Amino acid sequence: MFEPTSNRSETGAQPEAGSGPRHVAIIMDGNGRWAQSRGRPRLFGHHAGAKRVREIVEACPDLGVEYLTIFAFSTENWKRTQTEVAGLMSLFRRYITSQARDLKDNGVRVRFIGDRVKLEKSLVRMMDDLEALTEDNTRVNLTVAINYGGRDEVARATKRLAQDVAAGRLDPESIDEETLPKYLDTCLLPDPDLVIRTSGEARISNFLLWQSAYAEYEFIETLWPDFSPDVFGEVVAGYAGRDRRFGGARNA
Ligand code: FPP
């Protein structure tokens, strides 16, 4: 029923040392500071940030990145002012409406992760429609996290897992570390190889907690609206030089 969730290739091998990241996840931080440094409202920064998303998605195939997952709105972001929250929700709508055709024509498969229950029904419909419109695309897999929190995701997954146990569909004795990922929002995605956070903050802020167990992290100073495809290329190139050992020893 579920596709494999691990980073491993279909042959079961781990990614080759020195090769590029197959799955990059990005915490797009710094929109507010970028706008404020220009004397503009925070939403101006979010709009500039949304423009960057498109360029970064387009840069993926040349960099060998098959999966890009971006953190657009966290379960904690509801604490922001009503103006900012409403502005972000309206930006997501505008983005979907204006980009749908282009994403479809450019081979981008779009998925959304996060709890949709708290989102407005009209936005959820647009998200569903965009997922359906792009479901046959294979050039780049773009996953957008909206109302997403890693702990919330694990809690929701655990609830469904417990329901399967209670209904006799899952034997508790069979549960191992391959089981929970099948219930996560990311069940169809490989784990991220590289997690990038922009704007100089060195925190993971509840993003892909389970999935990033063996990811490499890059915390870079650049504010998200300044994160150009060139900067992206440099970060991806830096990843290729890392020695990922997945808990094993360095090869002699
Ligand atoms: C964090 O910067 C950014 C967000 C909470 C929103 C991210 C949204 C976008 C980049 C635009 C929309 C995305 C899509 C997919 C259309 P911040 O506001 O916390 O910045 P600050 O730390 O400087 O205040």
Nearest-angstrom CA–CA distance, 194 and 217: 6
Nearest-angstrom CA–CA distance, 148 and 163: 22
Q: How far is the CA of 133 from the centre of ligand 1 (A)?
A: 25
The closest of 151, 153, 146 to 205, measured between CA atoms, is 151
Average pLDDT, the chain: 92
* pLDDT bucket at 19, cuts 50 / 70 / 90: confident
Number of Cβ within a 10 Å radius of residue 67: 22
**Pick from 8-12, 43-47, 75-79, 197-201: least confident:** 8-12
Which residues, including other chains, have CB under 8 Å from residue 215's CB and lie 6 or more apart? 25, 191, 192, 193, 194, 195, 208
Q: Specify the pLDDT at position 163.
A: 98
Average pLDDT over residues 1-29: 61
**Identity of the amino acid at 247:** G
Q: Specify the pLDDT at position 16.
A: 52
Examine the residue annotation and report whether 77 is marked as an active-site residue of this protein.
yes
Closest Cα to atom 10 of ligand 1: 49
* pLDDT bucket at 170, cuts 50 / 70 / 90: very high
Q: Specify the pLDDT at position 196.
A: 98
Q: Is the pLDDT of residue 5 over 60?
A: no
Q: Is the pLDDT of residue 247 over 60?
A: yes
Closest Cα to atom 1 of ligand 1: 29
160 and 134 Cβ atoms separated by less than 8 Å? no
Q: How far is the CA of 225 from the centre of ligand 1 (A)?
A: 9
Q: Specify the pLDDT at position 240.
A: 85
Nearest-angstrom CA–CA distance, 117 and 124: 9
Examine the residue annotation and report whether 29 is marked as an active-site residue of this protein.
yes
Closest Cα to atom 12 of ligand 1: 50
Nearest-angstrom CA–CA distance, 66 and 69: 10
Average pLDDT over residues 5-11: 36
Q: Specify the pLDDT at position 14.
A: 45
Q: Specify the pLDDT at position 250.
A: 62
Q: Specify the pLDDT at position 7.
A: 39
Rounded (10°) CA dihedral 33, 146, 188, 216: 20
| Domains assigned to the chain | 23-149+193-238 (3.40.1180.10)
Residue 42 assigned ligand-binding role: yes
**Phi, psi at 159, each rounded to 5°:** -60, -45
Q: Is the pLDDT of residue 8 over 70?
A: no
Q: Specify the pLDDT at position 136.
A: 98
The closest of 107, 21, 20 to 58, measured between CA atoms, is 107
28-80 residue pLDDT tens: 999 999 999 999 999 999 999 999 999 999 999 999 999 999 999 999 999 99
Average pLDDT over residues 85-107: 98
117-160 residue pLDDT tens: 999 999 999 999 999 999 999 999 999 999 999 999 999 999 99
Q: Specify the pLDDT at position 251.
A: 57
Residue 223 CA: nearest ligand 1 atom is 23
Q: How far is the CA of 23 from the centre of ligand 1 (A)?
A: 20
